[in-house]
Amino acid sequence: MELLSSHRSFGGWQQRYGFKSTSLNSETTLSVYLPPQADRGSVPLLYWLSGLTCTDENFVTKAGAQRAAAELGLAIAAPDTSPRGAAVADDAGWDLGQGAGFYVDATQDPWRSHYQMATYVRDELPALLAAHFPAIDCDRAGISGHSMGGHGALTLALNNPDRYRSASAFAPIAAPSQCPWGEKALTAYLGSDRSAWLTYDACECLKTSAWDRPILVDQGEADEFLAGQLLPQQLEQAAQAAGKALTLRYQPDYNHSYFFIASFIDDHLRFHAEQLGS
């Protein structure tokens, strides 16, 4: 791993690394926040998954999460949203291809040679962090994200309850098999057989998941994508039917932006810290 930048922040370190990912078969970047407690012992970890068009830098520069993370002793790992590079397949649209990996393992050409985002987040990142950051306790890990990243956080947690101890999301794409963003991406990455999509639809995952811990979701009521793309009511109904503990908070006047995330990120970090024993 090559250290690309390092900044002192609230007594900890906000760092960015570049490396070759074996899962993605490409160069990638990763932002990591190490709280000051990491100098004295092990700290739990929160994975943050960003949304469409974002990189690993959006969250760490816009969300203002470092202050609460330093107070709580919580490390944060923010990967990029997709593989990138001249050899990586892309699309002219902003909602497919580079910047829009959807946190799935693609099975279709030309995507499958690089777009293995689920494996990257679930398997490669924990091994990488454990090898390079001995203070991070990857066995005490939570996961969160925004929009496409909220979709990724929820599906990864529900599909891997042994890997994550806490889960939350901001304005997640809750039912991607039922919205235009999801239908476009899942068709491209996984093919037209909709049964192959179910693993990556949080509403479907809730039906069979062994997840038995609370989930926190915040949704802005002024979100321009609320009705057509995000469908949080579907998530709420699925959680109720499955007997899962979902807290869905609608926030009046908030939209889909990072102003929304920055307003409630402390709540989410405290939620994760409580679940992780920070």
167 bridge partner residues: 143, 215
Q: Is 223 an annotated catalytic residue?
A: yes
Range list of β-strands (E), the chain: 2-9, 12-21, 26-34, 43-49, 75-79, 136-145, 166-170, 215-220, 246-251
Tell how far CA 46 is from the center of its chain: 9
Question: Which of 80, 105, 201, 223 does the annotation list as catalytic?
Answer: 223
Question: Which of 144, 147, 168, 209 does the annotation list as catalytic?
Answer: 147
Q: Is 166 an annotated catalytic residue?
A: no
Contact 65, 269 (CB under 8 A): yes
Contact 41, 136 (CB under 8 A): no
Question: Which of 114, 146, 151, 256 does the annotation list as catalytic?
Answer: 256
Q: If we measure between CA atoms, which residue out of 143, 118, 130 comes closest to residue 276?
A: 143
Residues annotated as catalytic are 147, 223, 256
